[in-house]
Each structure stands twice: as C-alpha cells, then as structure tokens.
Amino acid sequence: MCQLLGMNCNVPTDICFSFTGFQARGGLTDHHRDGWGIAFFEGRGVRVFLDPKPSVDSPVAELVRQYPIHSLNVIAHIRKATQGEVRLENTHPFQRELWGRYWIFAHNGNLKDFAPALSGRFRPVGCTDSELAFCHILDTLAQRFPDAPPTPAALFEVLAGLAGAIAAHGEFNFLLSNGERLFAHCATRLTYIVRQAPFADAHLNDQDVTVDFSELTTPADRVAVIATTPLTDNERWEAIPPGTLISFSQGAPEETAATGASAGAAEKVTERR
C-alpha cells in the first residue's frame, strides 16, 4: 500500500516539516520504495515534482524538503506498486485540466475488475488503476457539467457518489484537489489534524524532529494535514471513518459524506472472487 499526504490551509504554508517525516517512509522507516511525487498549488498554477526513485534517496525530495514552497493545497504520495510498473508515467500524483483549473489526484489502495467506460476526453497515460479512476472521475464531472463547474455542494455530492461506486472495486483511499478545496476519501485508513491557535510543539513519528508552530504562525492561521497514518506522536490525529469523503477548505473540514466504501466493503468484494 502507498502513503498519502495532503495539506489544506487558509494562508499559504510550507509543508517542509510534515514532508520530512513523510519522506522517511519512502525507504527509511517504511518500505514504499517505488517512487514518489508532490504537487503544490500556487494561485491557479500547480507544480508537480515526480521521481520514480525512492523518496529517501531522491535529490528532488531533498530539494522539496529544503525549499519552502508556500501553498494552500498540497498532495503528496509515496508509492508501493500494486498495479503498473515502476515508471514515471505510473508515479502519483496525476494532473489534468478541467474547466480551466488544474486537478491533482493520488490514490492509496488497489482496484480490481475496474474498467469504466471513458469518453476519451481524459485517458490514462500509464497503466495504473489509480490514473484510470482519476480519468473516470474527471470524465464523469465533465459530462455532468460540460460548460462550467457546479457549485461546491453539487461537486461534493457527485464526488461522494463516485467515491462509493469506485470503492466497490477495492480499496480506494484518495486525495483530490482543484486548488480551491482538497477532497479526502477514506476507504480503509486516513487520518487528519487541524492545527490552529494556540499552536504548540509537534514531534515527528518518523524522524527525531520537533517544530514549535507558535514561532512560525499567526493566530489566524489554520492548517489541515491529512495522512495515511499520523505523522506526529504528541498530537491528536482524527481517524476518518472508513467510507467517508471530507471536503477541506480554508484549513478545516467543510463537508462530510458517507460513501458506503469501507474496508468491509473491499473485503466483501475480495471474498466474492
């Protein structure tokens, strides 16, 4: 299984601290050695750094850890390949454009017997179930709302339906963002924390590194960090219930929906085979 990391903020924030712990999972404290990637939204633009090498050995990861890019929405992924060779085109996160905005997607899990009909507007370049799911999501959105994006509530409703339907094919934890909101779907395992005033010390699980956020923040700052498992050992992370989609906006959960997807559902699919 892969590792997901996301961040959604109300002011542009760098992810250097969280990335330091996350990077260690790519071959040092965990065995996810099949490449990694990270996407930073800045305004309407997005920068995606990809490397098919393990993140712990990657000079690109070293740059990301040391170069503070300030962003409202970040999605990162460390890969343990289940479907698709270890190649650049199979490295998450994936990027496409819809309605004049970039969309970024990363997936943790494994989908089986998943062959959605695609219109051809969005086609996978690599051969992962993950990129196929992303293309199916965007294809569905483009067909439902061909001319312009829907309201945030309507978008969230369609995404919740898609998350549940796709999760019937297997484990489907994902992070998705259009630069405005960050959508986090838990099928089996995903946690988050909202950091806001009063800020305190945080100490990483995966490296012996502590940061005092009170020295780096203003009282109005709010940052949500989403990760497969907690990144720190002295803060309280919320486990997202399996079968839940959360929309994060301005550094906090905005909407929550049950999608019907869960570890149980995934196991049932497996058992049917």
Asked if 70 interacts with a copy of itself (CB under 8 A), we say no
Q: Does the annotation mark 2 as catalytic?
A: yes
Q: Cα angle at 244 between 268 and 34, to 5 degrees? A: 75
Q: Which of residues 199-238 bind a copy of itself (CB under 8 A)?
A: none
Q: How far is the CB of 182 from a copy of itself (least distance, A)?
A: 18
* Inter-residue contact 261 to 245 (CB < 8 Å): no
Give CA–CA dist 273/270, Å, rounded.
Answer: 6
Q: How far is the CB of 53 from a copy of itself (least distance, A)?
A: 10
x/- map, 117-136, a copy of itself, by CB under 8 A: ---xxxxxxx----------
Q: How far is the CB of 91 from a copy of itself (least distance, A)?
A: 7
At 255, is the secondary structure helix, strand, or coil? strand
Asked if 46 interacts with a copy of itself (CB under 8 A), we say yes
Name residues whose C-beta falls within 8 Å of residue 199's C-beta, 6 or more positions apart in sequence: 212, 213, 214, 216, 217, 221
Give CA–CA dist 129/112, Å, rounded.
Answer: 8
Residue number, 89 or 221, with CB nearest to a copy of itself = 89
Residue number, 1 or 60, with CB nearest to a copy of itself = 60
Residue number, 134 or 174, with CB nearest to a copy of itself = 134
Residue number, 125 or 258, with CB nearest to a copy of itself = 125
Asked if 91 interacts with a copy of itself (CB under 8 A), we say yes
Asked if 268 interacts with a copy of itself (CB under 8 A), we say no
Give CA–CA dist 103/100, Å, rounded.
Answer: 10
At 230, is the secondary structure helix, strand, or coil? coil
State the helix-helix crossing angle for 129-144 and 152-167, rounded to 10 degrees.
Answer: 140
Q: How far is the CB of 22 from a copy of itself (least distance, A)?
A: 19
At 105, is the secondary structure helix, strand, or coil? strand
Residue number, 48 or 165, with CB nearest to a copy of itself = 48
Asked if 100 interacts with a copy of itself (CB under 8 A), we say yes
Out of 7, 15, 24, 50, the residue judged to bind a copy of itself by CB under 8 A: 50
* Inter-residue contact 83 to 110 (CB < 8 Å): yes
Q: How far is the CB of 93 from a copy of itself (least distance, A)?
A: 13
Strands 45-51 and 3-13: unpaired
Out of 1, 11, 28, 60, the residue judged to bind a copy of itself by CB under 8 A: 60
Give CA–CA dist 31/112, Å, rounded.
Answer: 23
Burial 38-70 (b: 16+ CB within 10 A, else e): bbbbeeeebebbbbbbbbbebeebeebbeeebe
Residue number, 125 or 197, with CB nearest to a copy of itself = 125
Asked if 198 interacts with a copy of itself (CB under 8 A), we say no
Indicate which residues carry an active-site annotation: 2
Residues that bind a copy of itself (CB under 8 A): 42-52, 59-60, 63, 66-67, 87-91, 95-97, 99-102, 120-126, 146-147
